[in-house]
Structure 1
Amino acid sequence: MEQIQRLEQEIDHLRKTLQEKENELFEMKRNWMPMESNDTQPEFTTLYSRNESNVGKVQYGDKLPKWAIERYSRQILLPDIGVAGQEKLCKAKVLIVGAGGLGCPAAVYLAGAGVGEIGIIDYDKVDLTNIHRQILHAECDQNKSKAVSAAETLKSINSNIKITPYMLQLDSSNALDIISKYDVILDCTDNVPTRYLLNDACVMNKLPLISGSALKMEGQLTIYGYRSGRNQNEKELYQGGCYRCLFPNPPPAETVGSCSANGVAGPIPGVIGALQSLEAIKLIVGQTRDKLLVERFLIFDGDDVTFRTVKLRSRDPNCPMCSENPKITNLIDYEVFCKSQAKEKDLDLQILPSENRITAFQLKEELGNSSMKQRHLLIDVRNEAEFNMCRIDGAVNYPIEQFRDAKVDEVLKMIDENSKVTFICRRGNDSQIAAKIILDKGNEDHKGKIKDLIGGLHSWSEYIDHDFPVY
């Protein structure tokens, strides 16, 4: 195990060194290499040189070289982009936070559009479960940094742009420094603490935040913190609301869903991620706020393939973050503020007291000692699709979404008929919520019977049954 860890560390160090050298080479080429023929496709430069040998020949725009005109011609043909817009794209710097289901498609189209510099932040590594929707990663990229994997693929799409991967967890200690280097920020994350962090950091840097989300069969998209002063095409000063204007207080951690817990159809984040890149392109080329998702909330329903837009309220003049006299002037501890973790995979709710929790080892021992007179009932609170994928023998399925009135009474009756009851879910979070609902509704006799499996089925797979699938 030590040899594996050491080799992984060496590989990570080499990747970081390679990235630094590639960035150094990029800057050297951009600063010193003269414009060459279309075959070599050099990086974007600010001027296309004109000398005696090309007098009388066709000129290639104010600042675009021949290769750029040819490569990006299909979008340059659009009146809303044109040569001037393409020049802005080639100079723009966009930061994508999250190289997952949203960040991958967004990055693909921004790289294809010729955005001059793209930064990608992700602390995670590629997992097999990612690949159905995270299109920059392949099977051969498993256990590789998502940021590095995405950067490598993007370089194969467009070698004329700069890609900077950040293999780290964005937090209060590094957010302002990183974000200040970019013009537009894309929120492609899946957790509430990072959303508040990005919002506050963007407000402090006076940068627009294009925020997307996707879960199950639904996606959402809007732009926070738009400032007309950054757009020369705007005729009057205007500032759009920020995330805190709409959500001054975070929701309870147990009410927030995630792709890993609730599932997502691959094309859903694909649609939203592509639209995030479209809004970024429109922002960069200078389209005005009436054409952008400023104070408008786009909702995509994949079930019936419909789009609808909800109007959002304007900026709150008393917002603690973006008002004229903000109460929040420094980044805070957002995990404490949201009472949840920024790394969704490590989410570990602590709702039940220790006497109402049981380990995988204890559950196995109790199941082995149970008899017909001392029956130990297992209630699996995952949804039906998950229950049908894999389950512990003898478990019954009561999805947590159904824990209302009649179903709660039905579960209470089952508890009365059994000596012990253990609630089970995937990771030991929903099982606590379900058990607490029953404990709050039940009587004193129920409290000694009800437990939940610590760590859920992941724990069961790790310690008891290694053949049990982990998903």
Structure 2
Amino acid sequence: MDLINHLEQEIAELKDTLQHKEQELFEIKQKLLPTKQSNIENGGDDQYSGNSTKVHFGDALPKWAIERYSRQILLPDIGVQGQERLMAARVLIVGAGGLGCPASVYLAGAGVGEIGIVDYDQVDVTNIHRQILHCEKDQNLSKAQSAANSLRSINSKIKITPYDFDLNPSNALEVAGKYDLILDCTDNVPTRYMLSDVSVLAKVPLISGSALKMEGQLTIYGYRDKRNVEEQSYIGPCYRCIFSTPPPPEAVGSCSANGVAGPVPGVIGALQALEAIKLIVGQTRTHLLVEKMLLFDGDDSTFRTVKLRPRNPLCEICSESPKITKLLDYEVLCKSQAKEKDLDLHILPSENRISAKDLAKSLNAKERHLLVDVRSESEFNMCNIDGAVNYPLEKLHKKQFDELLARIRECTSYVTFICRRGNDSQVAAKRVLDQIEDKHRSRVKDLSGGLHAWATDIDADFPVY
């Protein structure tokens, strides 16, 4: 273990040195770039200074940019002026995960002048199947730093700024104020409300994407256009215009709890980048996802676009007389967490809980237990404790619940509820305790800490996911 720890520390130090050297190289290139550019603008670089024929480039595009970005400059919708706008643009990407990775890859490739990427989390092996900027060697490295390192290897001509901290109401406006456009690549409701409010207060458009299971969606909030030919100016709806009140926490899923097919956030993230490019180069709202939401169904590989409500004239934040004039506590507003972290519920008395070590001792002593695993069927099929039976919490209603109660009444052994982290198992056990007769109550337990505790304390080979 000492050798492993030593090597891990040495690798971390080398990564840190490499990061500083890459930043130093970028700064040197940036200092040299104006000299090369002015040389070109004067008729060509030094190599061809003796050529008597004057060569004309784009108004502000150096030779290297024309060569590098030629395939998109050829598009009439982008052209030279569009490329100039891309190279002058500043885009903030919030979330270096399944959406943020593909979005940032294409924006870096397109030559967006400055990309800020925010993520408080570290790279985990469970991320890699969909978060394409991170590799196995990046595990335990800051996601923002890992993404920045990969993006710099894609395009050394642009500025990449990693923010490896939590974006919250105390710092969001300061960070967002440095950028022209925000991409919401997060996966939780509190941050969606916060970024929408930031978009309104900072007057910066927000391209919002989401992906879960086999589905994804995408739209633009807070769009502003003073050049609209039909109207003097136009402002699109914000997130609050469409969703005035947050959904109940139990109705919101997450990738860690519900799963996601890797290509689904890849599709939505790539489309976020496309909408960003279109917006930056000056496409009008009729060609953008303004007042429209794109829905992707990966099950049958179909797209459809639904019309959204226009801006609400009575919206609490984006109306002419807003009630909200500063950022709020969004976890309180949404009654849910902004960070995806393990809950630690305590809804059962201690006499109805059992530790992983005590459960293992009981099983080794041949004490009988009815092990009720309340995870989903797919999770149960991935891994389970030998002898456990599967009663998914999401299906534990009416007939299924009555069947379980009957089974508990008939058995004479302990009844131990199991889930991944020891939270859903408490919920299930509490339902049973509220319904079952007193004589059975002392036999009903829940595995404290769930299968994560089992893997930590009993079986190191048990998968942690």
Same fold (TM over 0.5): yes
Kindly indicate whether residue 174 of structure 2 is the aligned counterpart of residue 174 of structure 1: no
Q: Distance in 1 between matches of 2:420 and 2:228?
A: 51
- CA distance 1:465–1:179, change in 2 (3 Å): same
8 Å Cα contact 1:96-1:188 kept in structure 2: yes
Which deviates further from its counterpart, 386-395 or 421-430? 421-430
Match of 1:332 in 2: 328
Cα deviation code 1:404-443 (max 9, x no counterpart): 3221221221222235322211122332343344455555
Q: Distance in 1 between matches of 2:33 and 2:74?
A: 28
Cα deviation code 1:105-155 (max 9, x no counterpart): 111100111101111111111111111111111112122111111111111
Q: Distance in 2 between matches of 1:455 and 1:25?
A: 47
Kindly indicate whether residue 427 of structure 2 is the aligned counterpart of residue 425 of structure 1: no
8 Å Cα contact 2:342-2:421 kept in structure 1: no
Q: Distance in 1 between matches of 2:402 and 2:429?
A: 13
Match of 1:343 in 2: 339
Q: Counterpart of 2:341 in 1: which secondary structure?
A: helix
Kindly indicate whether residue 381 of structure 2 is the aligned counterpart of residue 388 of structure 1: yes
8 Å Cα contact 2:190-2:331 kept in structure 1: yes
Kindly indicate whether residue 392 of structure 2 is the aligned counterpart of residue 399 of structure 1: yes
User: How many residues are treated as equivalent by the alignment?
Assistant: 459
Match of 1:307 in 2: 303
Match of 1:250 in 2: 246
- CA distance 1:447–1:301, change in 2 (3 Å): farther
Q: Distance in 2 between matches of 1:467 and 1:362?
A: 19
Q: Counterpart of 2:270 in 1: which secondary structure?
A: helix
Q: Distance in 1 between matches of 2:7 and 2:175?
A: 29
Q: Distance in 2 between matches of 1:355 and 1:253?
A: 29
Amino acid of the residue matched to residue 301 of structure 1? D
Q: Distance in 1 between matches of 2:219 and 2:111?
A: 23
Amino acid of the residue matched to residue 30 of structure 1? Q
Cα deviation code 1:342-393 (max 9, x no counterpart): 221334445555554433234334445664xxx4311112222221221112
Q: Distance in 1 between matches of 2:285 and 2:432?
A: 49
8 Å Cα contact 1:426-1:456 kept in structure 2: yes
Q: Counterpart of 1:345 in 2: which secondary structure?
A: coil
Which deviates further from its counterpart, 161-170 or 233-242? 233-242
TM-score, normalising length: structure 1: 0.88
Q: Distance in 2 between matches of 1:251 and 1:424?
A: 28
- CA distance 1:462–1:25, change in 2 (3 Å): same
Kindly indicate whether residue 273 of structure 2 is the aligned counterpart of residue 277 of structure 1: yes
Q: Distance in 2 between matches of 1:150 and 1:259?
A: 20
8 Å Cα contact 1:131-1:139 kept in structure 2: yes
Match of 2:222 in 1: 225
Cα deviation code 1:155-195 (max 9, x no counterpart): 11111111111111111221111111111111111222222
Q: Distance in 1 between matches of 2:234 and 2:115?
A: 27
- CA distance 1:182–1:264, change in 2 (3 Å): same
Kindly indicate whether residue 259 of structure 2 is the aligned counterpart of residue 266 of structure 1: no
Which deviates further from its counterpart, 207-216 or 7-16? 7-16
- CA distance 1:34–1:249, change in 2 (3 Å): closer
Match of 2:409 in 1: 416
Q: Counterpart of 2:260 in 1: which secondary structure?
A: coil
Unaligned runs of 5+ in 2: none
Cα deviation code 1:426-463 (max 9, x no counterpart): 12233234334445555555654444323221111112
Instruction: State the Cα distance separating 1:304 from its structure 2 match.
Output: 0.8
Q: Distance in 1 between matches of 2:166 and 2:351?
A: 35
Instruction: State the Cα distance separating 1:247 from its structure 2 match.
Output: 2.3
Q: Counterpart of 1:310 in 2: which secondary structure?
A: strand
- CA distance 1:3–1:123, change in 2 (3 Å): farther
Find 1:105's aligned residue among 98, 102, 109. 102
Instruction: State the Cα distance separating 1:10 from its structure 2 match.
Output: 9.6
Q: Counterpart of 2:41 in 1: which secondary structure?
A: coil
Q: Distance in 2 between matches of 1:353 and 1:224?
A: 46
Find 1:293's aligned residue among 277, 284, 289. 289
Instruction: State the Cα distance separating 1:242 from its structure 2 match.
Output: 1.4
Which deviates further from its counterpart, 361-370 or 72-81? 361-370
Q: Distance in 2 between matches of 1:392 and 1:437?
A: 22
- CA distance 1:26–1:467, change in 2 (3 Å): closer
8 Å Cα contact 2:313-2:320 kept in structure 1: yes
Q: Counterpart of 1:406 in 2: which secondary structure?
A: helix
Instruction: State the Cα distance separating 1:58 from its structure 2 match.
Output: 2.6
TM-score, normalising length: structure 2: 0.89
Q: Counterpart of 1:461 in 2: which secondary structure?
A: helix
Q: Distance in 2 between matches of 1:114 and 1:164?
A: 15
Q: Counterpart of 1:409 in 2: which secondary structure?
A: helix
8 Å Cα contact 1:90-1:114 kept in structure 2: yes
Kindly indicate whether residue 192 of structure 2 is the aligned counterpart of residue 195 of structure 1: yes
Q: Distance in 2 between matches of 1:202 and 1:3?
A: 49
Map 1:28-47 onto structure 2 (within 5 A).
29-30=29-30, 33-36=33-36
Unaligned runs of 5+ in 1: 37-44
- CA distance 1:449–1:202, change in 2 (3 Å): farther
Instruction: State the Cα distance separating 1:218 from its structure 2 match.
Output: 1.0
Find 2:130's aligned residue among 127, 130, 133. 133
Please report the RMSD computed on the Cα atoms of aligned residues, expressed in angstroms. Answer: 3.0
8 Å Cα contact 2:228-2:234 kept in structure 1: no
Cα deviation code 1:219-260 (max 9, x no counterpart): 11111111123x677754221221222223323333321112
Which deviates further from its counterpart, 163-172 or 362-371? 362-371
Amino acid of the residue matched to residue 287 of structure 1? Q
Match of 2:463 in 1: 469
Amino acid of the residue matched to residue 168 of structure 1? F
Q: Distance in 2 between matches of 1:6 and 1:413?
A: 56
Q: Counterpart of 2:235 in 1: which secondary structure?
A: coil
Q: Percent identity?
A: 69
